[in-house]
Structure 1
Amino acid sequence: MKLIPTLVACVALLSASAAVADSRVFIIANQPDDSGIDQCLARSERCGANAALAYCKARDFVQATAYRRVDPDEVTGAVPKTVGAACMRGGCDEYVAITCQR
């Protein structure tokens, strides 16, 4: 009879681990524009929440759990260095990480 509570506990633990939400981090170029939304995302300010949420929903995720500026060095060689006209507006090598969750 002591086996039944142990089995119930094991099943509950397995069920809880299966319910962990799917989460993914997207690294995107921080595109400066006149709206200022790029700075909201890069500085993790509240004003970037709607942009991050829209980005996640466009990729079939339910919510954005985090967004922040990312240094290109944090991304192991996958992010190319920006040169030329794109650097004129101060957007060189600036990226944002948005964490989306299902």
Structure 2
Amino acid sequence: MRSLLALIFSASILAASGACAETRVFIIANGSDDQCVAKGDKCGASVARTYCQSRDFAQASSYRRVDPDEITGSVPKSGTNCSHGHCDEYVAITCQR
């Protein structure tokens, strides 16, 4: 009986996961003109949606500023290649298919 319940549970998990949309989070350097995206304001929705669509995703489900400490991996040090004064600012855009 336990095997049957485990099989049914596993099948339902697989069926549900197949129905979910693919989601991906992109971390990008924040440009000086992207303050709406960084603040998560409504005015950033079109920029975030355009970014997602340029990567073959249908829509942006969220967007916000992230601290460099939240990012795993390598990020530029403060002042490195800093041409627009926002070198330490990054934006996370969550895209869905």
Which band: TM-score by shorter chain?
Answer: 0.7 to 0.9
Who is 1:44 aligned against? 40
CA contact (8 A) 2:59 2:96 kept: yes
Q: Name the CA shift for 1:14/1:31 in 2 (closer, same or farther; >3 Å).
A: same
Distance in 2 (alpha carbons) for counterparts of 1:42 and 1:75: 15
Shift of 1:16: 2.1
After superposition, the CA RMSD in angstroms is 2.5
Instruction: Give the partner amino acid of 1:86.
Output: C
Who is 2:51 aligned against? 55
- TM-score, with length taken from structure 2: 0.80
Instruction: Give the partner amino acid of 2:48.
Output: A
Instruction: Give the partner amino acid of 2:79.
Output: V
- 1:72 aligns with one of 64, 68, 71: 68
Distance in 1 (alpha carbons) for counterparts of 2:90 and 2:13: 38
Consecutive unaligned residues in structure 1, runs of 5 or more: 1-5
- TM-score, with length taken from structure 1: 0.76
Q: Within 5 Å, which residues of 2 pair with 1:1-102?
A: 13-33=13-33, 38-83=34-79, 86=82, 89-102=84-97
- The 3-state SS of whatever aligns with 1:86 is coil
Number of corresponding residues: 93
- The 3-state SS of whatever aligns with 1:51 is helix
- The 3-state SS of whatever aligns with 2:82 is helix
Runs of 4 or more, structure 1, over 3 Å off, are 9-14
Shift of 1:27: 0.4
